[in-house]
Amino acid sequence: MWGILGRRAVDGGFSASSLRRMRSGLVSARSYAAGSKEMTVRDALNSAIDEEMSADPKVFVMGEEVGQYQGAYKISKGLLEKYGPERVYDTPITEAGFTGIGVGAAYAGLKPVVEFMTFNFSMQAIDHIINSAAKSNYMSAGQINVPIVFRGPNGAAAGVGAQHSQCYAAWYASVPGLKVLAPYSAEDARGLLKAAIRDPDPVVFLENELLYGESFPISEEALDSSFCLPIGKAKIEREGKDVTITTFSKMVGFALKAAEKLAEEGISAEVINLRSIRPLDRATINASVRKTSRLVTVEEGFPQHGVCAEICASVVEESFSYLDAPVERIAGADVPMPYAANLERLALPQVEDIVRAAKRACFRSK
């Protein structure tokens, strides 16, 4: 069920060291498994959209610079040439307008994939995402469903300043009627985006700009054109028994690095990649916490009312008697993102912060 990557993690063999090698751009771990391929997240997303567009003529792409420019981050590269301008629309800079058009098209039966150049710009269209898309199935008592996907990069990039760096996971995940997904690896990206496009409900698909260029190993299974991952199921990236670290998107990479550092000190950390922020996989998180008795939850966004806050509340409500230490929450600093590189580094969680939090959680009690 987890693909080759997950199975290897269970065996304890492959994941940690090979991931580290790949991340530093050195020789990739081709030696352990013959024929295992690698794919960047960008290619994974591109192939997912491409396959879904060729499978269903009702799927179309709409957004700024998705066509002739090949995509602001090259995610929609080649789609205009392949499918033509009737299916890949370069829109004017009118987020509210084109998001609403996408929602209206979804009302009438098409399956739009609306790209926001970054999710910060979705704030100009948030009325349509929430009021016309998320709430419609409920308001119309099931008559009108909205099979739309809103995708784009979310969260901090490098040095882009306060207005381009906010993480919107908590905002969208608090709305009933939306599904919110946050992929990490290439397999996540492919599987979740295909699931999102096929899904009959509005899906907010939060990517991360800094992950676009990263390569991940990808299984044959994931390359199949009917591969998709379930929405609402988290993935245990690394099994452990001392502390549970839950996170999503780019922070999964940091958490895995932190887990290695902790392993060197004798703490075995279990890293959960949430994949789906709404519906949140409370079952997996709680089962893990009941096993390890300690929780460290990590996210990049603002701390107050964040995803971590929800996870902490969920764990305290459901697994209180299993906890051996207070729940730890690592989030971005409670400030708009500064520009200076060193301040930006301070404003975001780093591997050391996760390691420190995990140690705090582990040493509070014997």
Partner 1 sequence: MATSFSATLPLHGSQENRLLLPPIRLAPPPSSFLGSTRSLTIPSSRRLYHAHASRRSPVVGVQEVVKEKKVTNSLLITKEEGLVLYEDMILGRSFEDMCAQMYYRGKMFGFVHLYNGQEAVSTGFIKLLTQSDSVVSTYRDHVHALSKGVSARAVMSELFGKVTGCCRGQGGSMHMFSKEHNMLGGFAFIGEGIPVATGAAFTSKYKREVLKQDCDDVTVAFFGDGTCNNGQFYECLNMAALYKLPIIFVVENNLWAIGMSHLRSTSDPEIWKKGPAFGMPGVHVDGMDVLKVREVAKEAVTRARRGEGPTLVECETYRFRGHSLADPDELRDAAEKAKYAARDPITALKKYLVENKLANEGELKTIEKKIDELVEEAVEFADASPQPGRSQLLENVFADPKGFGIGPDGRYRCEDPKFTEGTAQV
Binding positions for partner 1, rule: CB under 8 A = 1, 57-58, 60, 86-87, 91-92, 94, 96-110, 127-128, 131-132, 136-145, 147, 176-177, 179, 191, 195-196, 198-201, 224, 226-233, 279
Tokens of 144: 């009108």
- Give the count of beta carbons closer than 10 Å to the beta carbon of residue 70: 17
Q: Which is closer to partner 1, CB of 97 or CB of 303? A: 97
Kind plus residue range of the DSSP H or E element containing 149: strand 149-153
Q: Is residue 305 annotated as part of the catalytic site, yes or no?
A: no
Choose among 121, 111, 110: nearest CA to 163: 121
Phi-psi region of 301 (alpha: psi -120 to 50; beta: other; left: phi over 0): beta
Produce one character per residue of 306-330: b if its CB has 16 or more CB atoms within 10 Å, e if not. Answer: bbbbbbbebbeeebeeebebebbbb
Minimum distance from CB of 27 to partner 1 (Å)?
Answer: 30
Angle between helices 3-11 and 15-23 (to 10 degrees): 130
Instruction: Tell me how far, at minimum, the Cβ of 81 lies from partner 1, in Å.
Output: 16
What's the min distance (Å) between Cβ of 126 and partner 1? 11
Nearer to partner 1, 100 or 349 (CB): 100
Of the residues 164, 209, 237, 299, only one is catalytic, namely: 164
d(CA 276, CA 64): 26
The answer to whether 70 and 76 have CB atoms below 8 angstroms apart is yes
Between 281 and 300, name the residue whose CB sits nearer to partner 1: 281
Nearer to partner 1, 103 or 337 (CB): 103
Q: To the nearest whole angstrom, how small is the minimum distance from the Cβ of residue 217 to partner 1?
A: 17
Catalytic position from the list 51, 52, 95, 214: 95
CB of 147: closest distance to partner 1 in angstroms?
8
CB closer to partner 1 out of 128 and 257 = 128
Q: Write down the least CB distance from residue 224 to partner 1, Å.
A: 8
User: What gap in Å lies between CA 19 and CA 256, rounded to an integer?
Assistant: 9
For the packed helices 250-264 and 351-363, what is the interaxial angle rounded to 10 degrees?
A: 50
* Backbone φ, ψ for residue 220 (5° rounding): -60, -35
Q: Which is nearer to partner 1, 157 or 272 (CB)?
A: 272
Neighbour count for residue 140 (Cβ, 10 Å): 12
- Among this protein's residues, is 95 annotated catalytic? yes
Catalytic residue IDs: 95, 164
